[in-house]
Amino acid sequence: MGATTVAVLGSTGSIGTQTLEVVRAEPDRFSVAALAAHRSVRELASQAAEFRPAVVGIGDQELAAELTSAVPAGSEVVAGPDAFAALAGTADVVVNGVVGFAGLGVTLEALGAGRRLALANKESLIAAGPLVQPLRSRPGAELIPVDSEHSAVHQCLAGEPSPPERLILTGSGGPFRGRSADELREVTVADALAHPTWSMGPKITVDSSTLMNKGLEVIEAHELFGVDYSCIDVLIQPQSVVHSMVTFGDGSTVAQLSMPDMRLPIGYALAYPERIDTPFGAVDWAALGSLTFELPDAGTFRCLGLAYEAGRVGGTAPAWLNGANECAVGAFLDGRLCWHEIASVIEHAMGHHDGAAADSVEAVIAADSAGRRHAADAVKRAGS
Ligand code: MG
């Protein structure tokens, strides 16, 4: 059998570059069929020179000419806002490493084309769950999570004929674990970006600091594994070694453990049901020391509860929540909003949710836009 072909969409971001490290480590197993980035032409061209994909995509149309002159002969260039989605049917495995709601097109196209989707873009599944679900039964279509928690749950459930009783999603607690609401009034962007255990992009790192990332992961777990919200728990595991756990009806808990290294879940999603031969994040048990667990502080980190609530409402509520969150996080990163106001901005936006069903791409996009609009209003008021 030949190598598994991989399309890496969002190839210059954190997930994209780590995916290419996995491919580089396992050259007999994987080859790159397509690469795409939004704007980082030079890095994209140097990736293309190394991995020789058949197609290279750039999201920003204005950069098409620059990319064309920089890629090696034989690599076709596609450009424009639809370039990512256009590449989603070009390989055995499509890695969706796009940041945020913008990844929706890739998720829908990859599954629609009957490909395996290695999903790092949780936002597309969260916002458009009702649209993504039917595509999972297309012949050949398969959704393997790259998110470390969901990869852990997937590993815990593999080969289990019995349904899980509870999912326990773990989280590091982020950089502000243990601090009170009062102590969090003055934190800066740099404070929020100083994640204690994981190296990730800025958007998800801020989401980790508010626990919105964990909240979005609760919705993601509900969509991926079909488990009711009342059976999904969140537990803080500050060392980020236990990546999530599943409890079965007989009282047994199965967990997946490794050092925090995204290349492990990426390699798992690319090679499943096999495993790659390169160890990423293997635990040195004698040196590990203790593992500790604690409940999240839902009173201080209110985004977690807001996400559970939106998940339970269903329909377009998760899309609305996600849009509001992306707007609030963007405003925080730009210095237009204080960290402690992020939850209030999202809460305000959720107060305007219109209860619409997520029955079309248009409905999901409208909910995302409305969530952003109401959040933007609240950001303006907070700043005045
Ligand atoms: Mg995660």
Q: Looking at the structure, do residues 97 and 169 belong to the same domain, yes or no?
A: no
Dihedral sign, Cα of residue 117, residue 314, residue 131, residue 160: positive
Q: Looking at the structure, do residues 141 and 9 belong to the same domain, yes or no?
A: yes
pLDDT for the residue 121: 94
Instruction: Give domain status of residue 202, yes or no.
Output: no
Number of compact structural domains in the chain: 2
Q: Looking at the structure, do residues 60 and 97 belong to the same domain, yes or no?
A: yes
Residue 112: Cβ-neighbour burial (10 angstroms; 0-12, 13-18, 19+): middle
Q: Looking at the structure, do residues 164 and 138 belong to the same domain, yes or no?
A: no
Angle at 382 between CA 380 and CA 384, to 5 degrees: 70
Cα–ligand 1 centroid distance for 148 (angstroms): 5
Listed residues 295, 326, 347: the one ending a domain = 295
Cα–ligand 1 centroid distance for 133 (angstroms): 20
Q: Looking at the structure, do residues 232 and 133 belong to the same domain, yes or no?
A: no
Nearest residue to 333 (alpha-carbon basis) of 187, 217, 233, 235: 187
Instruction: Give domain status of residue 291, yes or no.
Output: yes
Average pLDDT, the chain: 96
> How far is residue 44's CA from residue 57's CA, in Å, rounded to a whole number?
9
C-beta separation of 25 from 278 below 8 A? yes
Residue 335: what residue type?
Answer: G
Angle at 329 between CA 327 and CA 333, to 5 degrees: 115
Tell me the mean pLDDT in the region 321-342.
Answer: 97
Cα–ligand 1 centroid distance for 70 (angstroms): 35
Containing domain of residue 239, as a range? Answer: 146-173+211-295
> How far is residue 214's CA from residue 108's CA, in Å, rounded to a whole number?
23
Nearest residue to 268 (alpha-carbon basis) of 28, 26, 10, 58: 26
ω into residue 273 within 30 of 0, thus cis?
Answer: yes
Instruction: Give domain status of residue 47, yes or no.
Output: yes
Residue 101 is part of a domain; what is its CATH number?
A: 3.40.50.720
Q: Looking at the structure, do residues 237 and 157 belong to the same domain, yes or no?
A: yes
Cα–ligand 1 centroid distance for 50 (angstroms): 29
Hey, which residues does 142 pair with through a beta bridge? 116
Listed residues 243, 261, 295: the one ending a domain = 295
Instruction: Give domain status of residue 337, yes or no.
Output: no
**Quick check: helix, strand or coil at residue 210?**
helix
Hey, which residues does 34 pair with through a beta bridge? 7, 55
Per-residue pLDDT tens digits for 29-77: 999 999 999 999 999 999 999 999 999 999 999 999 999 999 998 899 9
Cα–ligand 1 centroid distance for 3 (angstroms): 28
Cα–ligand 1 centroid distance for 330 (angstroms): 20
Instruction: Give domain status of residue 359, yes or no.
Output: no
> How far is residue 149's CA from residue 171's CA, in Å, rounded to a whole number?
8
Q: Looking at the structure, do residues 36 and 95 belong to the same domain, yes or no?
A: yes
Cα–ligand 1 centroid distance for 241 (angstroms): 12
Listed residues 270, 295, 320: the one ending a domain = 295
Mode of pairing for the β-strands spanning 242-247 and 166-171: antiparallel
Q: Looking at the structure, do residues 140 and 219 belong to the same domain, yes or no?
A: no
Nearest residue to 314 (alpha-carbon basis) of 280, 266, 363: 363
Instruction: Give domain status of residue 45, yes or no.
Output: yes
**What residues sit around ligand 1, an ion, with C-beta below 5 angstroms?**
147-149
- Is the pLDDT confidence value at 1 over 70? no
Q: Looking at the structure, do residues 154 and 61 belong to the same domain, yes or no?
A: no
Instruction: Give domain status of residue 246, yes or no.
Output: yes
Per-residue pLDDT tens digits for 92-148: 999 999 988 889 999 999 999 999 999 999 999 999 999 999 999 999 999 999 999
How far, in Å, are 152, 162, 257, 344 from residue 249 at the CA level? Answer: 19, 8, 22, 38
pTM of the model: 0.96
Per-residue pLDDT tens digits for 186-222: 999 999 999 888 878 899 999 999 999 999 999 999 9
Q: Looking at the structure, do residues 167 and 279 belong to the same domain, yes or no?
A: yes
Q: Looking at the structure, do residues 57 and 159 belong to the same domain, yes or no?
A: no
> How far is residue 48's CA from residue 72's CA, in Å, rounded to a whole number?
7
Instruction: Give domain status of residue 300, yes or no.
Output: no
Q: Looking at the structure, do residues 25 and 113 belong to the same domain, yes or no?
A: yes
C-beta separation of 54 from 77 below 8 A? no
